[in-house]
Structure 1
Amino acid sequence: MLWLAVALGGALGAIGRYGVSVALAPQHIKFPVATLTVNILGSLMMGIFYVLIVEKAMLSQEWRHVIMIGFLGAFTTFSTFSIETLHLFQAGHWQTAVIYLGLSLMLCVLAVYLGITITDSLL
């Protein structure tokens, strides 16, 4: 049953990821805004659900499989982030690649921290 929970969450996460990609489809900008956005949102949600499921047990452990493993695993896109960064470097866009790398790491770690801190303070 847990396999189905992960699969359901993953399907919903993939749909969510695709929706963000369509909504933030790059026009003429060479910066991967959609991937950065889903990784920040996914990190924020990871922090929130970490508190709700792991720390406070306000949701059952089964929800960890649906949300944290399935949904957020499919919603966030580290592999896409990696290939986009590599392509920026290969295309000679070193400055953009370094900015993207730095923003992704700093903002996603900050988002997890904020998710945990805000959720803890509200509970």
Structure 2
Amino acid sequence: MTVPHPERVGESGTPARAPARPASPWHGQGPVVAAVSLGGAIGASARYGAGLLWPTPDGAFPWTTFTVNVVGCAVIGVLMVLITDMRAVHRLARPFFGTGVLGGFTTFSTYAVDIRNLVGTGHPGTGLGYLAATLCAALAAVWLGTTTARRALAWRRR
């Protein structure tokens, strides 16, 4: 009778193991990268749409970028409380929504470029005001979103 998978014997007389198959990327970081990529595409598309609907004239305060960043920070505050305090959240929820959608939606690189452009085109006061206003409003939005979400969850659990 033939054995379908005969063991090979190594030099030490013990059975040799078959070479390990390389791990599939879908068992490691592949799903996380895919979730972040998909979420980022959605968030960046939404930000682009906001820019098309509400363009900023040259030299003016960039209200679109300011609003996108502040709203995105508030939603990040709410989302992180919900994701960390809820029991049954899929492991890809945080990478998809937090890093992907909201990371793609908020645009602090455009914020930096807007400041440089305002200062470079002779509007340093507007540039400095934008710098300070965005920083303060974004931090306040994260705090407000986090605090509101925590209070709402506490009230719901009563």
The TM-score range, normalised by the shorter chain, is over 0.9
Structure with larger RCO (C-alpha < 8 A, sep 6+): 1
- Structure 1 match to 2:131: 101
- CA positional deviation for 1:15: 1.1
Contact 2:69–2:107 under 8 Å retained in 1? yes
Pairing of 1:1-123 with structure 2 (within 5 A): 1-27=31-57, 30-54=60-84, 56-58=85-87, 59-123=89-153
Kindly name which structure, 1 or 2, has the bigger radius of gyration based on alpha carbons: 2
CA contact (8 A) 2:40 2:102 kept: yes
Aligned-residue RMSD, C-alpha: 1.4
Tell me, which stretches of 5 or more residues in structure 1 are unaligned? none
1:10, 1:46 → 2: CA distance? 14
Structure (1 or 2) with the greater helix fraction? 1
Range with greater deviation from structure 2 (57-66 or 86-95): 57-66
Shift in Å, 1:28? 6.9
Q: Runs of 4 or more off by more than 2 Å in structure 1? A: 26-29, 57-61
Number of positions where the alignment pairs a residue of Structure 1 with one of Structure 2: 122
Distance 2:58 2:135 in 1: 24
Alpha-carbon contact 1:53-1:61 (below 8 Å) kept: no
What TM-score do the two structures reach when normalised by structure 1? 0.92
AA at the equivalent of 1:57? M
Gaps of 5+ in 2: 1-30, 154-158
